[in-house]
Amino acid sequence: MTAGKSPAAGGSTTTTQAYGEAWYWDNRYSQDPSTFDWYQKYPSLAPLIRLYVPTHHHPILVVGCGNSGLSEEMADDGYNEVINVDISRVVIEAMQTKYSDNPMMKYMVMDVRDMSAFDTRSFAAVIDKGTLDSLLCGHNAQQNAAKVLVEVWRVLKDKGVYILITYGSPVYRLPVLKDLSWTIKLHVIGKLQSGNTSNLTRDLTTPIPLDANGGSTESVGMNADVHYIYVCIKLLLKYSFDMFFRMSLGRTKHEPAVWGNCFRCNCIP
C-alpha cells in the first residue's frame, strides 16, 4: 500500500460500505498491523500544519488515527499533547502498547460521530486524514458526515482549526463543510510518489482563492494527481440551524451532486 491511496482504492462496494463499522477496521488491523499513512506523511504536511497550529501547550486531536506515524512525528516536532482516537479497539490497543512510554501521545477508542467524552472547546486543532472520506463512502453518508463535522466543530476551541486532508475536490467537499460556522481555506498538495516526494510544484502554504460563494476561483477540478486540504477555522458563532435540521431529520432526497457515492465522487481511481 502507498500513502497516496484513497480509502476505497482496491475495495469492493460492499467493503467500502463498512468503513463506518468497528468490525471492519478491527479485521483490517488484525490482518495488517504495519504502520500505514493515508494520502500523505507528516514531512510533506508539516509546513502547513506549522502554519496553522502552534506547537506550544495546545492539545491536538487526530481523528481516525489508525496506525499512522503522523502523531509520533508531530510529537517529535514539538507538539506535546496529541490525542488520537479511532473506532478500532484492535489498533488503539496496539498503539497504546507501542507508545506507552511517550507521555505526549494518548490513544482512545472512540467513534468520531460521538465524541461526548471530550468537553466543548477542548482542542486547538483537529486533523482528519481520510476519516471523513471513509464515512462518505459508507452507509448513511449524509448523516454520518454531518455528525462528524458537528462534533469536530464542538470540540474545537474558538478560532481552532479543522485540517481535512482528502481526495475530494471542492465541488464535493465545500458544500458539506459550509454547513458550519467557520472560515474555509483551500490548499492542494501533490500525491506522494516513490521516495515520498510530491509531484506538485505549487507552494503548499499558499491557499487557493475562493469566491464569495465559497467556490474555487482556480481550475483545480478533479485532479487525480493532488490531494485537497481544507483548513476550516472556527468562528465565534452558534451551530447553523440547517446542520441541526439535517442531523435530526436527514435529507429528504439523494443529492449526488453534493454527496455522491464512492464511484460518482471519484474515490475509486
Examine residue 225 and state whether it is found in any structural domain, yes or no. yes
Examine residue 42 and state whether it is found in any structural domain, yes or no. yes
pLDDT at 238: 53
pLDDT digits (tens, 9 = 90+) for 67-119: 999 999 999 999 999 999 999 999 999 999 999 999 999 999 999 999 999 99
207 pLDDT higher than 50: yes
Q: Which H or E run includes 246?
A: helix 241-249
Mean pLDDT of 215-240: 74
Q: How many domains does the chain have?
A: 1
Q: Which domain holds residue 80?
A: 13-249
Distance between CA 249 and CA 53 in Å, rounded?
A: 35
Examine residue 242 and state whether it is found in any structural domain, yes or no. yes
pLDDT digits (tens, 9 = 90+) for 159-186: 999 999 999 988 889 999 988 999 999 9
- CA neighbor of 184 nearest in space, from 224, 157, 155, 212: 212
**Residues above pLDDT 90, as percent of the chain:** 57
210 pLDDT higher than 90: no
DSSP string, 207-232: PBPB-TTS-BSS--TT-TTEEEEEEE
pLDDT at 236: 76
Examine residue 266 and state whether it is found in any structural domain, yes or no. no
Question: In 3-state terms, what secondary structure has residue 183?
Answer: strand
Examine residue 171 and state whether it is found in any structural domain, yes or no. yes
Which band of pLDDT confidence, cut at 50, 70 and 90, is reported for residue 225? confident
Q: Which residue has the cell 506515524?
A: 69
- Dihedral, CA of residue 108, residue 113, residue 114 and residue 115, to nearest 10: 50
Provide the whole-model pTM. Answer: 0.81
CB-based burial, 113-137: b 16+ in 10 Å, e otherwise: bebeebeeebbbbbbbbbbbbbbbb
Examine residue 133 and state whether it is found in any structural domain, yes or no. yes
Question: In 3-state terms, what secondary structure has residue 187?
Answer: strand
**Residues with Cβ within 8 Å of residue 225, at least 6 apart in sequence:** 190, 191, 199, 200
pLDDT at 262: 39
pLDDT at 192: 78
| CATH code: domain of residue 54 | 3.40.50.150
Examine residue 4 and state whether it is found in any structural domain, yes or no. no
